[in-house]
Structure 1
Amino acid sequence: MATRNSGIRGLRSAVAACLGMAAGTFAAMAAQRHTLDAINARLEHLEKRALTQQQANLAMQQRQHWELLSKAMDNPELTEVLDIFAVPVTVQKRRQYLFANALYTNLLCYHRVGNLTRDEFFKHARGMFQNPIVREYWYATRHLRASLKGTEEAELGQMIDDLLLQLDEADTDEWWVIGDPPGDA
């Protein structure tokens, strides 16, 4: 009988040890999970903050871009500094091109900060490029966009090039139906 009680006590001790080990493992896993959740929450916060900071930086850059273009459009001597077009243009045409650049850059910035989807960007651009001066500007700066390969701006520029080709080849005056919006990629 003593051997039997000893065996039961040994079994109870082994079960208790296993339960203790399991409880310890469970507690360690719970603590580890809590730590991982805390790290994940911190990373999400940092990513959100970085995105917000990136958007703020982009907005600041947009504001500076507009201020510089405004100064150039107001002063013919400064406008000459921005004569980067493929063909020589008059001061008046240069100022119009600079304004077209400001319009396009504004649209691009709206897309980059998330205020416009790619589809909405396309639709706004389709309307903007109905203006012949904006189209002239676009064609006069084609050589500048050639260096943007592999960037989102290059993809959007190519999308506009394709749209302009479709608009030029269209046999309808209903420009608002020309081209398929790209959807959001």
Structure 2
Amino acid sequence: MATRKFGVQGWGSASVAGLAFAAGALTAFATRRRRYEELRLRVAEMERGARQNAMLDQQRAQHYLLSKAMDDADLAAVYSTVQVDSPVRQRQYLFANAMYTNALLAYRVEVVSWEELHGHLRMFCQNPIFRAYWDAHRPHRSSLEGNSTEARVGRMVDRLILDLDEADTEEWWVVGEPPTE
């Protein structure tokens, strides 16, 4: 009676070594791939941080210029091309611009969400001076690229003003739904 052998037949030590090498190479490849992905994510995070820092630096410069313009009517005349009836109104518009750009920056650097930005802007839109500023600067917004963040936020403000005007409630803080991002 013949004996049956079970297992791998004809596999010598070289074949086993080859399989072990291939398994090791695949493990090393998977480890390298995972490390590459981790590094790619870290670089992307650093680039995002660099963009946010650049936006913050730009905001500081804008705030400095706005502050100078609010303190000096001669400089305010250079800062804005919108014609107003008094230096007081001009400073109010400059301040409205500072409030708006601050809220926009908070969204851009992810301090506030889209929904939170909507809430802040809804509050701004309650103010008649902000509304007058917004209306006076409509021609400036028309030059924005249609899908830019600022254009989308501008459309949100326009919609909020419309919703608030059409609302049949005094509870302004519940008016309007934030548009989808």
- Higher mean alpha-carbon deviation, 174-183 vs 111-120, is at 174-183
**Equivalent of 2:67, from 61, 67, 70?**
70
- Tell me what 1:137 maps to: 133
- Tell me what 1:95 maps to: 91
* 1:61 CA displacement: 1.0
Residues 1:111 and 2:107 are matched in the alignment: yes
TM-score (norm 1): 0.87
Unaligned runs of 5+ in 2: none
* 1:20 CA displacement: 2.0
Q: Deviations over 1:96-119 (max 9, x none)?
A: 101100000000001111010000
* 8 Å Cα contact 2:118-2:178 kept in structure 1: yes
SS of structure 2 residue aligned to 1:14: coil
- Tell me what 1:152 maps to: 149
Larger Rg computed on CA atoms: 1
Residues 1:54 and 2:83 are matched in the alignment: no
Aligned length: 174
Q: Deviations over 1:110-131 (max 9, x none)?
A: 1111010000000111011111
* 1:35 CA displacement: 1.4
* 8 Å Cα contact 2:93-2:133 kept in structure 1: yes
Give the letter aligned to residue 90 of structure 1: S
Q: Percent identity?
A: 38
* 1:88 CA displacement: 4.3
Instruction: Supply the distance in 2 between the matched residues of 1:165 and 1:182 (Cα, whole angstroms).
Output: 13
Instruction: Supply the distance in 2 between the matched residues of 1:45 and 1:142 (Cα, whole angstroms).
Output: 40
Greater helix content: 1
Instruction: Supply the distance in 2 between the matched residues of 1:89 and 1:62 (Cα, whole angstroms).
Output: 28
**Equivalent of 1:80, from 77, 84, 91?**
77
* Aligned structure 1 segments of 4 or more residues deviating by more than 6 angstroms: none
* 8 Å Cα contact 2:156-2:178 kept in structure 1: no
Residues 1:42 and 2:39 are matched in the alignment: yes
- Higher mean alpha-carbon deviation, 67-76 vs 42-51, is at 42-51
Give the letter aligned to residue 82 of structure 1: Y
- Tell me what 2:24 maps to: 27
* 1:155 CA displacement: 0.8
* 1:80 CA displacement: 0.7
- Tell me what 1:4 maps to: none
Unaligned runs of 5+ in 1: 1-7
Instruction: Supply the distance in 2 between the matched residues of 1:20 and 1:89 (Cα, whole angstroms).
Output: 88
Instruction: Supply the distance in 1 between the matched residues of 2:16 and 2:139 (Cα, whole angstroms).
Output: 74
TM-score (norm 2): 0.89
Give 1:168-183 correspondences, 5 Å limit: 168-182=165-179
